[in-house]
Amino acid sequence: MKNTIVNSFVKMAGLLVIAVMLGTACSAVNPDESDPQESGNGKNEKKPTPEMYENTIPEAVDLGLSVKWASINLFSDEPYSIKGHLAWGGYYQTTFNWSHYRLCQGSVKKMTRYNSEKEYGKVDNKKELKDYNYEDDAARAYLGGKWRIPTEAEWKELVDNCTWKWERGKYIPDPQNPMRNIQLEGYRVTSKINGANIFLPAAGNYQYNEEKYKDELLYVGSLGYYWSSTASSAGNARAVHFHFGGVNIWSVLRCEGLSIRPVTD
């Protein structure tokens, strides 16, 4: 009888410890961060405001096009910076896989926004970040005003109306091997209309390595990847991709981490 009472007490104590641990884990969640599927504000992501932005505000460069282009990437402080990779529709740099992507429920088959195919989740037939009043546009969230991520059409306008010249920039630490430096390269984009120009660094992109269970920043100095605000099918979005040999616009998985070059009206 005595052993039975002792065993029961031990079990009850164990359950109490588990309950306390669960309670602690739940209380660690920020109460101001609502369910991402109800509010659209992201998984444990509090929507940023311009007041939270401490980086350099970009200059709006007039290239004679339909929009003005930022002089630097989002989160950067100078043209040769490689900072600022985000998932499409994301606010913060996070783990770049579907489990952490804010506009799905843990799977590419469970998209919650900008989807037109039943097999990929909730269908809303939205194609542009403006369709939800720029709620998922990081450039608008951080910079305010009329700043936003450019559309696919605006990227095409930049490609068609500018001269793209490959240029070698300064040396920076190699993200994959900090013991050595690499030369950051990219495109000097010069308007055919008025001669104004911007520099787009080949800042690479973040991909999640399933075998190593970690994110990797790849192709810095040789490839550039920049989001447009235009969604594509099957959990993709349209993006600009460039290297020494040329510039293309194609579809990229939305959970990958790409650079953002804002525009403004």
Q: Running DSSP on this structure, what letter comes out for residue 108?
A: T
Q: Does residue 110 have a pLDDT over 90?
A: yes
Residues 116-155: tens digit of each pLDDT: 999 999 999 999 999 999 999 999 999 999 999 999 999 9
Residues 223-262: tens digit of each pLDDT: 999 999 999 999 999 999 999 999 999 999 999 999 999 9
pLDDT-derived band at 13, boundaries 50, 70, 90 = very low
On whether both 27 and 3 belong to a single domain, the answer is yes
On whether both 4 and 57 belong to a single domain, the answer is no
Domain count across the chain? 2
Query: What pLDDT is stored for residue 58 in this prediction?
Result: 96
Residues in the chain: 265
On whether both 115 and 96 belong to a single domain, the answer is yes
On whether both 5 and 86 belong to a single domain, the answer is no
On whether both 118 and 232 belong to a single domain, the answer is yes
Across 187-206, average pLDDT:
97
Identify residue 176 by its one-letter amino acid code: Q
On whether both 135 and 258 belong to a single domain, the answer is yes
Query: What pLDDT is stored for residue 44 in this prediction?
Result: 56
- Asked which of 24-33, 95-104, 187-196, 241-250 is least confident by mean pLDDT, the reply is 24-33
Query: What pLDDT is stored for residue 43 in this prediction?
Result: 56
Q: Does residue 33 have a pLDDT over 50?
A: no
On whether both 135 and 194 belong to a single domain, the answer is yes
Identify residue 159 by its one-letter amino acid code: V
How many other CB atoms are found less than 10 A from the CB of residue 213? 9
Across 186-200, average pLDDT:
98
On whether both 54 and 21 belong to a single domain, the answer is no
On whether both 90 and 178 belong to a single domain, the answer is yes
On whether both 49 and 26 belong to a single domain, the answer is no
Across 54-70, average pLDDT:
95
* Element containing residue 251 per DSSP (H, E): strand 246-253
Cα torsion 243, 249, 251, 252: sign: positive
Q: How far is CA 47 from the centre of its chain?
A: 14
Domain that holds residue 156: 39-264
On whether both 101 and 7 belong to a single domain, the answer is no
Query: What pLDDT is stored for residue 153 in this prediction?
Result: 98
Comparing CA positions, the residue from 37, 35, 36, 33 lying closest to residue 46 is: 33
On whether both 113 and 26 belong to a single domain, the answer is no
Kindly list the distances between the CA atom of residue 173 and the CA atoms of 58, 61, 89, 195, in Å, as whole numbers in the listed order.
24, 28, 28, 32
Kindly list the distances between the CA atom of residue 117 and the CA atoms of 89, 90, 101, 112, 126, in Å, as whole numbers in the listed order.
18, 21, 18, 11, 11
Q: Does residue 14 have a pLDDT over 80?
A: no
